[in-house]
Homo-oligomer: A and B are copies of this chain.
Amino acid sequence: MTTAISQEVTYLEAISQALDEEMSRDERVFLLGEDIGPYGGAFRVTEGFQKKFGDWRVLDTPLAESGFVGAAIGAAMMGMRPVVEMQFADFISCAFDQITEVAAKNHYRWGAAVPMVIRAPYGGGIHGGPFHSVCPEAWFFHTPGLKLVAPSTPYDAKGLLKAAIRDNNPVIYFEHKFLYRRAKEVLPEEDYIVPIGKADVKRTGRDISLITYGAMVPLALEAAEILEKEAIDLEVVDLRTLLPLDQEAILESVRKTSKVIVLHEATKTGGIGAEISALISEYCFDHLDGPILRIAAPDTPVPYSPPLEEFFLPKVDDVLRAARQLATY
């Protein structure tokens, strides 16, 4: 897949590369958001972009999420392919109406496609507190017409962003802040995409299906290593796309293992894990050999202080405990 001399690329660099390559490939692609121009974005994803692509393809906007998401929708309808940066995913709440009412329903209502991507840097583990840590994906999961993706590796980050930009629908791209500089790998030289709607088995296993996404994937793999020593063989399914869900991949894994853990960083009640669980018990009930366990954050805002946030976030131990429980079921 890659040559030995290639360098490792971080998750964040993978995102930059995808943007850069797509902007070079397709002049309809342009970026807008807060402080993405000369500053290069709060996380420096678009550093140097304005110099390279010009002021009108990398636009610093006023501080107005609804306004600039709406502008992206309008531009998308005119045949552009805007990529919006939320400074933090938390602020997407300010653009909620434009996303759910306008972007999501537009094609259904009158056939006008909205090929737009919203990049949403999300997630905790960086001591951001209640307003800079949120995992808001479930807010949009109940809105037909949207696509949601949430990569866990640099490879997927790059390939999914390219696929999102080429998609003719509004896609929210959840990029996990915790992974930005922590996840690294060597990427292919050549152009590739990761198709939207396809999950990926990150670790094959026989005993238990662990279904997850985002920053929980490395955590799940870590747990799997430990459980291997206990002869519990975890299969780790990385959803990658949250909407539309890859139902077949989920069910296929469950049919094999008969036991399921669903894991996400977002709070439990009403999280995407609920849907996964419901799908399984609806379509795979006869294969189940135990309860479908969910591991998720407790139902609170994300607290700031380190001991609180540590308590809040799902941990390797939680996976171990659940897996051991299921193994003896």
**How many angstroms between the C-alpha atoms of A94 and B65 in the bound complex?**
12
Contacts of A267 in B (CB 8 A): 142, 144
**How many angstroms between the C-alpha atoms of A28 and B144 in the bound complex?**
40
**How many angstroms between the C-alpha atoms of A105 and B275 in the bound complex?**
25
**Digit string of A97-111 for contact with B (CB within 8 Å is 1, else 0)?**
100110011001100
Q: Say whether B105 contacts A130, CB under 8 Å.
A: yes
- With A292-B278, A292-B285 in contact, is A271–B142 under 8 Å at CB? yes
**Interface secondary structure of A, over-half rule:** helix
Interface stretch (choices A43-51, A168-176, A293-301): A293-301
Q: What class of interface size applies to chain A in its complex with B?
A: 35 or more
Contacts of A293 in B (CB 8 A): 282
**Residue ID in chain B nearest A138 by CB atoms:** B142
Contacts of A130 in B (CB 8 A): 105, 108-109
- This chain: how many copies in the complex? 2
Q: Does A251 contact B (CB under 8 A)?
A: no
Q: Does A78 contact B (CB under 8 A)?
A: no
- With A105-B130, A142-B271 in contact, is A278–B294 under 8 Å at CB? yes
Select which of B144, B274, B288, B294 is within 8 A of A301 by beta carbon: B144
Q: Does A290 contact B (CB under 8 A)?
A: yes
| Chain B min CB distance to A62 (Å) | 17
Q: Does A270 contact B (CB under 8 A)?
A: yes
**Residue ID in chain B nearest A99 by CB atoms:** B93
Contacts of A104 in B (CB 8 A): 301
Q: Say whether B93 contacts A93, CB under 8 Å.
A: no
- With A105-B301, A142-B270, A272-B270 in contact, is A294–B277 under 8 Å at CB? no
Q: Say whether A301 contacts B108, CB under 8 Å.
A: yes
| Chain B min CB distance to A98 (Å) | 9
Q: Say whether A101 contacts B90, CB under 8 Å.
A: yes
Within 8 A of B (CB), among A258-307: 262, 266-267, 269-275, 277-278, 280-283, 285-286, 288, 290-294, 299-301
Contacts of A139 in B (CB 8 A): 100, 139, 142
Contacts of A300 in B (CB 8 A): 108, 144
| Chain B min CB distance to A19 (Å) | 27
Q: Does A125 contact B (CB under 8 A)?
A: no
Residues of chain A at the chain B interface (Cβ within 8 Å) = 90, 93-94, 96-97, 100-101, 104-105, 108-109, 130-131, 138-139, 141-142, 144-145, 243, 245, 262, 266-267, 269-275, 277-278, 280-283, 285-286, 288, 290-294, 299-301
List 10 A-B pairs, Cβ < 8 Å.
A93-B100, A105-B130, A109-B130, A138-B270, A142-B267, A142-B270, A144-B269, A274-B275, A277-B278, A280-B281
Q: A138-B142, A270-B270, A278-B292 are in contact. List 8 more A-B contacts (CB 8 A).
A: A93-B97, A139-B139, A144-B301, A270-B275, A278-B294, A282-B291, A282-B294, A285-B288
